[in-house]
């Protein structure tokens, strides 16, 4: 017997890069909204069963909340949308490599897969600094892909900070 996740995994294997670029475009659109509001332009999308269940962008300034990163808000909204604190089978798309806080939240939510655009050399913990997905002390593993639309994601950040300086 095949469940929905098995079928989606099969489809993702066949069309993975194309699907990843499609969803990353959606995350980029969210990031641009953040930038327009004066927030660091990071966008995130949570996808389950081939559908977006949540989307968000950075909002720590507007919300006066240091934890209001795009990933955290998207995870909260996704959990609410599916009425479960576990997002088993979900993929989180984010324009920039996640920080420690966001990666920890993904572990607790049981995100299956993380896809991010540009690396974050100073604070990214997936590949750039701590390589947290490779650590063997977690009881949950997150598959990840990096570099999806990395140029566009990185340029959005560079342009934002260029204007601020």
Q: How many CB atoms lie within 10 A of CB 79?
A: 18
H helices present in the chain, as ranges? 4-36, 60-63, 70-82, 100-109, 150-164
Asked if 73 and 82 count as a contact pair (C-beta separation under 8 A), the reply is: no
Task: Tell me, yes or no, if 7 is annotated catalytic.
Answer: no
Catalytic option among 55, 71, 97, 120: 71
Asked if 23 and 48 count as a contact pair (C-beta separation under 8 A), the reply is: no
Annotated catalytic residues are: 71
């Amino acid at each position: 017997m095949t469940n929905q996740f098995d079928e989606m995994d099969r489809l993702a294997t066949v069309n993975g890069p194309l699907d990843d670029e499609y969803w990353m475009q959606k995350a980029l659109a969210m990031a641009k909204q953040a930038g327009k509001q004066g927030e660091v332009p990071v966008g995130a999308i949570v996808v389950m069963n081939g559908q977006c269940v949540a989307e968000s962008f950075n909002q720590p300034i507007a919300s006066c909340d240091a934890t209001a990163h795009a990933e955290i808000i998207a995870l909260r909204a996704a959990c609410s949308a599916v009425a479960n604190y576990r997002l088993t089978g979900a993929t989180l798309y984010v324009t920039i490599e996640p920080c420690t806080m966001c990666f920890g939240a993904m572990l607790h939510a049981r995100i299956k897969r993380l896809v991010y655009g540009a690396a974050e050399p100073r604070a990214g913990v997936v590949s750039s600094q701590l390589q947290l997905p490779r650590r063997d002390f977690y009881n949950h593993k997150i598959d990840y892909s990096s570099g999806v639309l990395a140029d566009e994601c990185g340029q959005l950040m560079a342009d934002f900070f260029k204007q601020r300086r």
